[in-house]
Each structure stands twice: as C-alpha cells, then as structure tokens.
Structure 1
Amino acid sequence: MEGRPERRWSVVVPAKRLAVAKTRLRPLTDRPDGTGGGHDELVLALLADTVAAITACPAVGDIVVVTDDPRAAALVTGLGARTVADEPDRGLNAALVHGARTAGTGPVAAVSSDLPALRPAELAGALAEAGRLAAAAGGDRCFTADAAGTGTTLLAAATGDLDPHFGPGSAAAHEASGAVRLPARWPGLARDVDTPADLRAAALLGLGPATGALTGD
C-alpha cells in the first residue's frame, strides 16, 4: 500500500476458522467423500474478494483481519491487510472490539468477510456518508443493512467506538443502540453470502475474481 494517498478509515474484518465458517453453504460445497475441501476454498475466496475490494478503496488506510485461521491469515496478508489473533475468543462482537483497538485512534469500520460483489466505490460511498453524518452531528455510528434488511454488513464509527451488536437481528439491534441506518444505495455492500441462494444473487451483481473463478461466474 506504499505510495498510495493518505486514507482515513481503519477497517476491521472478522474471519472465522474455516472449520466453522459458512456452514449453510456446505450443501453446495461439500465433496461426495465428505472432505469439505471445496467449502474451505469458497470461504477463502469470499474473504479474498472482500479484502481486495477494501484494499482498493481510497477511503481506507488500514485493514485489520481478526482471525485464528492460518490459511485465512496468509491469504489476507498477501492482499495487503494485517492480522491479529482473536485473543478474546468470545464471539464476533468481542473480536471486532479487539480488532478496532489494535487500529488505534480515528474512524473505524467493521465489514463482513463474505461480500464477493463488493465494489471499492460502494465502500467509499458508504464511508463518505458516515463521515458526513458525523460532521453534521447527526450520528457518530452508522450501519448498512444486508439485502434482507435484518442483518448488518458495515458498521462505521467516526469516533472510533464501534459498540458492535452483530448477531441475529443485528440491524434492529444497531438501530436501537443509536446507530444510524444508511440508505440502501450500495447493492454489493449489502449482499453478504450465507446460503447458496445468496451466492446466486451475488453472482447477478458480478462476483470478484476469486469467487468467480470457483463458481464459473
């Protein structure tokens, strides 16, 4: 990332151990012999396309991937991110708080690891909107809901205090905690992939190269 213009936001991405990640995709990915190797490759491809899009976003200055999986760590390091271990090991929200602390001071955002149709311009637009709201004192924390409107794919904190509430019904939980819901302007940012149907919907938007190479889309 040397020689690139200075960027404002730190972005934290959580990446589960491959053995327990994206289990609802296993009907699509498990091999007949039950080895699950195809599943691991798809999870890594989703992560690769997500991190590559974040890296290419000019509003981002630091990418922290919180993971205990060595393959995931090696992958994202090669893409320009840095990694920290999930030292709290107390679930997603604790991992995000830990990652945000390692990012230091300044604006920080949490982004889901399964956004294969994410475009750098979409992330830049969402972060710019978050920054405008903060400057207008309209809200220090903002989020984007997933395509279903119930989950969260981006949580941005202009003051650096994420206060994450990821989990079932996280969109409502973030709204109840005072975070401002951003408008649904960025389809790739909203399209996370948990199921085979989600992957097909992401393919209609255009998959990143790693996921597309696996699916043929």
Structure 2
Amino acid sequence: MFAIYGISGPIFQGTLEKMNQIPPVLRRGPVTPVRRIGDQIETSTFTEELANITAPTGTAEKAVEAYQEMLPQNLERGPLFLANQIMQPQVISVNAADDVARAWQVLVQHQIHQAPVLDAGLHLVGIVSERNLLTTLNVDGGQVRDVLARSVSDVMTTPVVAATPITDIRRIALVMLDRDVDGVPIVNDTGTLLGFISRSDILRAVVTDPPLSIWR
C-alpha cells in the first residue's frame, strides 16, 4: 500500500497500480557518459559502442549452460520481505523550516544522502537530498560556503511517495525505479513516520542468506 504526501497533506492512498496513474513526482534526465582524451573531453555513446561488439556464436548459450550447471539442483527460495523487516527504524529527519545549511550538516553528521522532511506538526511533507541542497550552497573542503537564504521547504522534493510497513519490498523497488527516487519513507495509516528504506537496504536484503524470493 502506498501514499503520496505533500505540503497540504495526503494526496493519494492506494495500491501501486492506482498510483501509477499519477504522474511521476520527479524524474532526472539521462546521464551521458563522458570520456577524457588528453586535454579534451568528448561524449561517448556507450550503447553504440556495445552495439558494435559482437560475441562469438554460441557464447551466450554456453554461458547460460555453465551457470545452470553451477546451481544447486534443489534450490529453495527464501522468504519474501516486507518493508517493516528491512526498514531503518531510527529515521533521521529534518524540518521544513530548517535552513539549508543546517540540513546539510544533518546529512553529513549522520553520513546519509537524503532525509524525510516533516512540518511543524511532524507530518511528512517531502524529502531532501544532497542534490537538492547543493542548488543553494557551495561546499569547499567539507565546509559550507556561499549559502543562499533558503529553507528546506524551498528545495525539497514534494510531494513524496511513502509506503506502509507491510508493503512488499519488490513493489517499493519498482517505485524507486519508476519514480527515480533513492528512498521511500515508511508511514502508518495516519501518516506518522515509522522508518525509511533506501536502495542500500533493498540490496542488502537481496544478498541475505537464505536468498530473497523475487519470483514468488
């Protein structure tokens, strides 16, 4: 179950299928790889280079066969994971009214790249990341310089997608991909912030033994 929270409160509550009918909150543009040659920088279309590489006939088939031979004959898939099983319950958050310099210090102090944003009533209203903050300040040698007079509410991403504790993490991963976000806050039915799931949390679950059942 998912929800979308903005400055005015809950905007949507429902299933992933229904939420997909809502336009994405934020999507970053594609990144063009760059390659430095001498003193010049030229853009490189990596996909075009790959297209010109042809593998020897039968190589892919042989690779698949070799991989299948290495797999255990009776592989039992591990359990599915829900949000409340892998989320970080100790959530570091910032206030919408905080200035951007303080928000930056919170991220650096706790070694995180993003944080949920709460309003004066402790309601989820957005999420702020390093990228958001760097639009208003310069960092030199780890020290903040040239700070614009902005608050977190001026630069945060809002509305923000959140999920309930019993949401399948595969669906949360799908939201991260489709909405191009690096984390999803976990809230209860009243919108109280309970935890946070980042890409790292999902990757950690994937490599857990027993293995995550991603097909069930």
TM-score where L is the length of structure 1: 0.23
Q: Which has the higher helix share?
A: 1
Higher relative contact order (CA 8 A, sep 6+): 2
TM-score where L is the length of structure 2: 0.23
Larger radius of gyration: 2
